[in-house]
Amino acid sequence: MPVIDMPAVLKGTNRAKVRAAARINAEVFDRLLAACPDDHWRLLIAFCWHCGMRASESRWVRGEDIDLAGHRIHIPVNKAKDADHHCILSPEMDAALRVHFPSGIPEGLLIGRYDMSVDPSRLADTFRGIAKKAGVKGASRYGLITLHDLRRSFGTRMAAKVPAQTLQRLMRHAELATTMAFYADVEQAAVDALWSNVTVDVTPAQRPKTQCESVDVNDSTSTG
Query: Is 146 or 160 the better-scoring residue by pLDDT?
Result: 146
Query: Is 195 or 74 the better-scoring residue by pLDDT?
Result: 74
Band (139; pLDDT cuts 50, 70, 90): confident
> What does pLDDT average to over the chain?
76
Q: What's the one-letter identity of residue 139?
A: A
107 pLDDT above the threshold of 60:
yes
Q: What is the mean pLDDT of residues 151-178?
A: 79
Q: What is the mean pLDDT of residues 162-183?
A: 74
pTM of the full predicted structure? Answer: 0.70
Cα–Cα distance measured from residue 79 to residue 135, given in angstroms and rounded to the nearest whole number: 31
Contact 60, 109 (CB under 8 A): yes
152 pLDDT above the threshold of 90:
no
Q: What is the mean pLDDT of residues 57-64?
A: 91
Using one digit for the tens of pLDDT, what is the confidence trace for 32-54?
999 999 999 999 999 999 998 98
Q: What is the mean pLDDT of residues 131-155?
A: 89
Band (167; pLDDT cuts 50, 70, 90): confident
The pLDDT, as a whole number, for residue 116 is: 63
209 pLDDT above the threshold of 70:
no
Q: What is the mean pLDDT of residues 62-79?
A: 88
Using one digit for the tens of pLDDT, what is the confidence trace for 86-100?
888 999 999 999 999
187 pLDDT above the threshold of 90:
no
Least confident of 6-10, 41-45, 159-163: 6-10
Query: SS3 sequence, 94-106?
Result: HHHHHHHCCCCCC
φ/ψ of residue 34, rounded to 5: -65, -25
